[in-house]
Chain A
Amino acid sequence: MTTAGHRSAEEIGRTATGPRPVPELGAQTAAADLSHVDTVLSNGLRLLAVRKPTVPLVELRLRIPFGGTTPLHAATAEVLAETILTGTQRRDRIAIDTELALIGGELNTVVDPERLTIAGNALADGLPTLLDVLADALTAASYADDEVARESARLVERLVVSRTQPRVIAREALLKHVYGDHPATREVPQADDVAAVETAMVRELHTAAVLPRGSVLVIVGDIDPDAIAGDVERVLGGWSADRDAVTMPELPAVAGGDLLLVPRAGAVQSQIRLIAQSLPRTDPRYAALQLANLAYGGYFSSRLVENIREDKGYTYGAHSGFEFTGSTATVGVDADTANEVTAAALLETRYELGRLAVVPPTAEEVESVRQYAIGSLLTATSSQAGLASQLAALSAAGLGAEWLAEHPERVAAVTVDEVARAALEFFAPSRFTGVVVGDADVLAPQLTALGGVVVGEPGK
């Protein structure tokens, strides 16, 4: 290296003073109350707007329930998402991009089996333009034949790329293993289905499903809370229908069972994905379960990460977290590991599930996850974009700014016993099922020896 002489590692690691005590926490100021509006417009659209003028921007999230059960729904919805902002009766694709760019703005659309989301932002004084472009697309998207054809072709190419991503393959395998043929499994449409989508089908889906009643618009930023409802009503009032937006059929509860080893020949790394039924945010036990999950694998200082990453080096990242769908929720566990340690990592992952259930988090562990839950929510909602996304997620369950403001108190009130009960009830290994995706030739002997693992393709 570059220095001629340097201290040894041992000399570097000690000083004459010796170890020092960790400082106590100082005084904490509370988050400011933010003025907000939560109302339903005449067309049935819920508007949730928060004034947060930290920078001269506005953030916008529109969530439209977008369930569908027909075979080509997922593919048609995906094409719709790719083309809804490519032209209206008044503006072509370039004009939309130009108007948005001049206000420093963007609008992006994504769709999943539950909903269509249009998200964007702009410089604060551009909000009228942002809303006008949005309203134009919602009420008068034209779906020109050439735009639909080109975006479908691009989508087919992207889907081919997407289906080579291990995380996409693993996600799809997990959903099929657990939910069979439920519409929720169609997060990534088939390329052949996309190729079969015609312009008329996209237009029909827009008329039938891009609907305000049951949808939520979240606006956060440098806005006037007294004027916002009127402003939005004027621009979006013309977007109306006599039907409600279509929600996805409820998911069946996940039952515990065998893991499926899904072969992916030649893979150098395996994906472990486990899942179990858990609780929605509206359940009184949710805060306790949230803390139990953090202690298991929901943050870096969790039992799972300390075991399989920091102690054993099996993985770069292991994680557990909730997924909220309709009125239900699941908890998932994921880790990507090298082939030679996949079975060992699964063994430890299951061991930690069992340990959480029967050797529950100590008072010290609960204090740690409690502070983390409260502090990370504070951090995540300290930016306009973070707050907007958080509120949009809550809005799906009918929750809003009050829930967010009150949640720290709920977390503060959880007892160690309540965490232990939640851990026993929801983290027992017998409640989980899942998949391992990887090179089955290499993995099968060890994994099947562990038990509770069968080899096969999902959904068969």
Chain B
Amino acid sequence: MAENSRTSRNSRFTLDNGLRVVLAPDPTAPVVGVAVHYDVGFRSEPEGRTGFAHLFEHLMFQGSESLEKLAHFKIVQSSGGVFNGSTHPDYTDYYEVLPSAALERALFLEADRMRAPKLTRENLANQIDVVKEEIRLNVLNRPYGGFPWILLPPVLYQTFPNAHNGYGDFTDLEQASLDDCAAFFDTYYSPANAVLTVAGDVDPDHARELIEKHFADVPHRPAPPKRSFAEPPPTGEVRGTHTDPHAPLPALAVGYRMPDPVGELDAYLANLVLAGVLTDGDGSRLQQRLVHREPLVTDIGAGAGLFGPFEARDPDTFSITAIHSPDVPADRVLGAVDEELERLASTPPDAQELAKVTARWSASLHAEHDRLMSRTLALGAFELLYGDPSLVHRLPERMAAVTAEDVAAAAKALRPDARAVLLVEPEGGAK
């Protein structure tokens, strides 16, 4: 119902300076979402500057020509809105959700920092400190910090863009200079390298006028040439070990290469369905066997993308993660996973097994699109990665069209002789 009418109201256009715009009106609640996606993520940051894309995201909140430090937060919040930004492998997003009266303010804020952010030494030093606290909080001072998103890539990948730590090493963060910031901005933060999304309670014609008013005079700079991050898959099983000072139980992550999320979308979706067949719900293959029947693990999960699907271009990662008792050797868990994958490869799942996965995906996509913030971000990301924001609304049908044979083929491609295995060992042995 609502989805079809939503799709038909969506529109796209491009300003003269190259900024792509997605408009997605929806009057059901008096709120608007505004997002800008820049086509640069941590895979593009230079060697010796790990963590720079994320650090730069922090700096974009620190003021611009018309806005003193802290003004961005104050203006959004005193208009009744919420804001944030996040850095992904292949893009960085900035967004606000506000009462619809504040639409023009949000456009003004995003345009001002796209045009002329204030990059200063003081703010850089302060945000290096803040980012280091963020890393202590999310990685260094907790069990399984960075598992698997920081720990698995260096085992599965060989080239710097794919393998390095996107949060950054403290030594690299401390080296970041103001000139690095200026170069990064001029290279990657041009309107021709960005997507603006406006969704929610807006009149499309009025929104378009306001977008022209605020963004049209952001000067054009050419978008950087598209880089390929392609590299050959591993030719054997590559293993790595990480000692975790806080983890009480051993864990493992298995990483596989998977089909190109953009160029081979249907095969990519078959991998998402496969992940559901393997670990979604008590009736899934690996939950049934490894958590309940045998039982070998405390928890197990599988999925596409180290932050979720549709976050990256090629190459992307299919991963299976498990936390297990120290009495169970990792190879026993791996052996059981391989057996289940072989079974699926030779005997495709039945119709009901597929229907379960696709119904749950359909519901979760509806739920995601019901949250204006998630919908705004998804539309922008799909414009950026696929050039097709409405694909977001067609995903349930595309997933429902995945056949049992497609899932079997996806399972067959997860080969034990072309994968990474990361073992997390508790420091000083398990207690």
Contact = CB atoms under 8 A, between A and B. Distances in A.
Contacts of A258: none
Given A371-B78, A382-B372, A3 B186 contact: yes
A316 B134 contact: yes
Contacts of B132: 338
Contact of B367 (A20, A57, A103): A57
A2 B183 contact: yes
Contact of B117 (A12, A18, A165, A267): A12
Interface string A317-342: 10000000000000000001110000
A130 to B, nearest CB: 11
Task: Categorize the interface residue count of chain B.
Answer: 35 or more
Given A150-B292, A379-B82, A301 B77 contact: yes
B119 to A, nearest CB: 4
B168 to A, nearest CB: 14
Interface size class of A (residues with CB under 8 A): 35 or more
Nearest to A337: B133
Nearest to B356: A101
Interface in A334-373: 336-338, 367-368, 371-372
B270 interface: no
Give the one of A25, A160, A267 with max B CB within 10 A: A25
Interface stretch (B66-74, B301-309, B330-338, B379-387): B66-74
A158 interface: yes
Contacts of A71: none
Interface in A1-54: 1-3, 6-9, 11-15, 17-32, 53-54
Contact of A27 (B101, B142, B295, B357): B101
B150 interface: no
A106 interface: yes
Given A9-B178, A9-B181, A12-B117, A368 B133 contact: no
Nearest to A372: B77
Interface string B213-254: 000010000001000000000000000000001111100000
B367 A123 contact: no
A400 interface: no
Interface in A57-102: 57, 86, 93-94, 96-98, 100-102
A338 B136 contact: yes
Contact of A379 (B31, B131, B140, B182): B31
Contacts of A100: 281
Contacts of A122: 363
Contacts of B77: 299-301, 368, 371-372
A316 B178 CA distance: 22
Interface of B: 1-3, 28-31, 46, 64-67, 69-70, 73-75, 77-83, 97-105, 108, 112, 115-120, 125-134, 136-137, 140-144, 178-187, 201, 217, 224, 245-249, 280-283, 288, 291-292, 295, 298-299, 323, 325, 352, 355-357, 359-364, 366-367, 369-373, 431
Report, nearest first, the 3 A-B pairs whose CB atoms are least far apart. A375-B80, A104-B363, A313-B129
